[in-house]
Amino acid sequence: MKNLTVAAPAKLNIFLHVTGRRDDGRHLLETLFVALDFGDTIEVTRREDDAIRRVGGWQGVAEEQDLAVRAACALRSATGCSAGVDLRVIKRIPVGSGMGGGSSDAASVLLALNRIWDLRLPRSRLIEIGSTLGADVPFFILGEPAFARGIGDVLRPVTLPPMWIVVIAPAVNVSTAAIFAAPQLTRNTPSAKMDVFSEGYGRNDLQEVAAARHPEIGTALAELRRHSRHARMTGSGSAVFASFASGELARNAVLATPPGMQGFIARALARHPLAAFA
């Protein structure tokens, strides 16, 4: 196999609690991840030489910093593989939205190259490699909705009911590092006592800090809360979301998207599109 076109789905954090901090300064989290049937597309083409190149597509970040390129380099370094690849990333996930675009791109590249380069690595090994690229990457490789602890890398698959989800993404790029560094951030939310979560459970501990720095987030939340009292921000922002029991309710809610913001409807995925690749 020489060519593959693969999906890199967006994710939401249904809730996100900061429960503490490790000695190395990284934050301890508890979160519920779900992937969406909305995201980026990546065209993966095996090369005849050993070059790893990004061709065309999104140029919003330097090639050497692009997580898709870094994923290919990390996989080759971990396996000793000498094959090359061309990567074209077609971006749809808003940058800085808290929807995991870069991490999802990295995971889909690892999964696709596992097949194109005929490496036959087990999912557990791909997760190990992915964890060196970012804390969200293991979730996308796992391939199912998951409750996460640690820095987001200790995962337990969960089953979630079907959901229609409305997402509103303001046109702002939120810095994850800046939000986690904020002195106002809550860092001592009590740990969940059980892995069973009702609708509306929890909150996003990063939301207050992000909304204070980016008023557009508060505007999006206010509009979406006209239709759901459970609307909240995902990840470190800036996108906000709410789930609905039917497509009709979701269609009514997406009409609340303020001018200048991106609003769309998505379905929660029970399985990652590339779940069979490892």
CA dihedral for 114, 159, 10, 148, sign (positive or negative): negative
Phi-psi region for residue 249, left (φ > 0), alpha (ψ -120 to 50) or beta? alpha
For the beta carbon of residue 93, count every other beta carbon within 10 angstroms.
22
Those residues whose C-beta lies under 8 Å from the C-beta of residue 152, and which sit 6 or more positions away, are: 29, 31, 135, 136, 138, 139
CA 118 to chain centre: 26
Measured torsion, CA atoms of residues 64, 66, 68, 73, in degrees rounded to the nearest 10: 20
Gap between the Cα atoms of 52 and 156, Å rounded: 33
Residue type, 186: T
Asked about 205 being catalytic, the answer comes back as: no
Q: What would you measure as the largest C-alpha separation in the chain, in angstroms?
A: 55
Record the tokens describing residue 147, joined without a space.
């409750």
Per annotation, catalytic residue among 11, 40, 91, 205: 11
Asked about 23 being catalytic, the answer comes back as: no
Q: Do 121 and 112 contact (CB within 8 A), yes or no?
A: no
Per annotation, catalytic residue among 40, 66, 105, 136: 136
Catalytic sites, residue numbers: 11, 136
